[in-house]
């Protein structure tokens, strides 16, 4: 995506998910903030970040669904 932007120099470069988020935030900022807060809470602090011994942490269904929905953004 970055190399394409450097090569063709488009006026706007973004993903569909990003454009949708931009429009949704313009129309309903409070609802989007609440949704993003819920998404943030799907991934709790790891044992390592708490200074605890690392244990086998498996991803929950919600975490896998979030990673699938936002593929290419953070994963």
Using one digit for the tens of pLDDT, what is the confidence trace for 27-65?
A: 999 999 999 898 888 888 877 777 887 777 788 888 888
pTM: predicted TM-score of the whole model, two decimal places = 0.59
Check residue 12 and give its pLDDT: 77
Check residue 68 and give its pLDDT: 84
Check residue 23 and give its pLDDT: 95
Query: 30 versus 69: which is more confidently predicted?
Result: 30
Query: 67 versus 56: which is more confidently predicted?
Result: 67
CA distance 74 to 70: 7
Using CB atoms within 10 Å of the CB of residue 63, give its burial: 0 to 12 exposed, 13 to 18 middle, 19+ buried: middle
Q: Residue 69: how many CA atoms within 13 Å on its side-chain side?
A: 8
Structure-token pair, residue 60: 């929950």
């Amino acid at each position: 995506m970055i190399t394409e932007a450097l090569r063709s120099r488009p006026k706007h470069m973004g993903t569909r998910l990003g454009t949708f988020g931009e429009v949704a935030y313009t129309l309903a900022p409070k609802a989007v903030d609440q949704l993003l807060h819920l998404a943030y809470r799907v991934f709790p602090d790891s044992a390592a970040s708490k200074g605890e011994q690392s244990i086998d942490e498996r991803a929950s269904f919600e975490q896998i669904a979030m990673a699938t929905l936002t593929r290419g953004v953070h994963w």
